[in-house]
């Protein structure tokens, strides 16, 4: 009787372990619909509206993450951005030219919308709110290196009223982005 109990326990343990592994978000997946390998961070970097928040209002949030699309050796990069608007200072359409600037220690970088991101069965990152905006921006290996080399990264988005809405993160983004760039064989660090 004991061997049967041990066998049952082993089968249940193995099944639970497999279920747990499949629930873990991998940073590299194969999109079965398109046949493209997609590499992304485990979670995008979170930014919060950093100034000018009126009393009783909610701040907006922005989420940023690099993406690598590999279609049988044809590798492309993009920068994914999701804006989850609060009710304080709305941002303009992030797809508009010059609507998004990444502020780095070594200077600003105005993002250009990526005209034709690959059509996937699932997005590389999960959006926080369904009514937010999502866009992909152009990114190449050199810009990814630059992004990964900067400790302080913030975002300036064009406000709906023409002003600038600032977003910051309390995190040092360099370890996360440098590890991502290294995993993509872009840097040797």
Domain assignment present for 8: no
Position 97 pLDDT exceeds 50? yes
Domain assignment present for 12: no
Domain housing 32? 26-183
Residue 39's alpha-carbon distances to 100, 122, 140, in angstroms, are: 23, 12, 14
**Domain harbouring 158, CATH code:** 2.60.40
Domain assignment present for 21: no
Domain assignment present for 89: yes
Alpha-carbon gap, residue 59 to 28, rounded angstroms? 32
Domain assignment present for 166: yes
**Predicted structure pTM score:** 0.82
Total tally of structural domains belonging to the chain: 1
Which residues have CB under 8 Å from 84's CB, separation 6+?
60, 61, 62, 63, 127, 128, 129, 132
Position 14 pLDDT exceeds 60? no
Instruction: Give me the pLDDT at residue 125, please.
Output: 95
Instruction: Give me the pLDDT at residue 27, please.
Output: 81
- pLDDT tens for 124-163 read 999 999 999 999 999 999 999 999 999 989 999 999 999 9
Domain assignment present for 4: no
Which residues have CB under 8 Å from 43's CB, separation 6+?
25, 65, 125
Domain assignment present for 10: no
Instruction: Give me the pLDDT at residue 25, please.
Output: 33
Q: Specify the higher pLDDT residue, 83 or 171.
A: 83
Alpha-carbon gap, residue 66 to 79, rounded angstroms? 5
- pLDDT tens for 72-82 read 999 999 999 99
Domain assignment present for 19: no
Q: Which residues pair with 166 in a beta bridge?
A: 156
Which residue, among 68, 147, 49, has the nearest Cα to 104 in the 3D structure?
Answer: 147
Which residues have CB under 8 Å from 144's CB, separation 6+?
66, 77, 177, 180, 181, 184, 186
- pLDDT tens for 18-45 read 333 322 233 889 988 899 999 999 999 9
Instruction: Give me the pLDDT at residue 189, please.
Output: 60
- pLDDT tens for 43-64 read 999 999 987 677 777 889 999 9
């Amino acid at each position: 009787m004991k061997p049967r109990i041990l066998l049952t326990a082993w089968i249940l343990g193995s099944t639970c372990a497999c279920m747990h592994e499949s629930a873990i978000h991998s940073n590299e997946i194969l999109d079965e619909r398109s046949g493209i390998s997609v590499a992304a961070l485990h979670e995008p970097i979170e930014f919060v509206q950093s100034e000018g928040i009126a009393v009783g209002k909610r701040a907006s949030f922005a989420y940023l993450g690099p993406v690598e699309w590999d279609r049988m050796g044809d590798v492309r990069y993009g920068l994914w951005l999701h804006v989850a608007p609060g009710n304080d200072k709305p941002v303009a359409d992030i797809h508009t030219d010059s609507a998004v600037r990444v502020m780095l220690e070594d200077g600003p970088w105005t993002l250009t919308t990526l005209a034709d991101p690959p059509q996937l069965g699932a997005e590389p990152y999960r959006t926080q709110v369904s009514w937010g905006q999502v866009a992909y921006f152009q990114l190449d290996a050199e810009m990814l290196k630059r992004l990964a080399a900067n400790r302080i990264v913030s975002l300036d988005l064009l406000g709906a009223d023409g002003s600038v809405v600032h977003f910051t993160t309390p995190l040092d983004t360099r370890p996360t982005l440098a590890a991502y760039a290294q995993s993509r064989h872009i840097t040797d660090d």
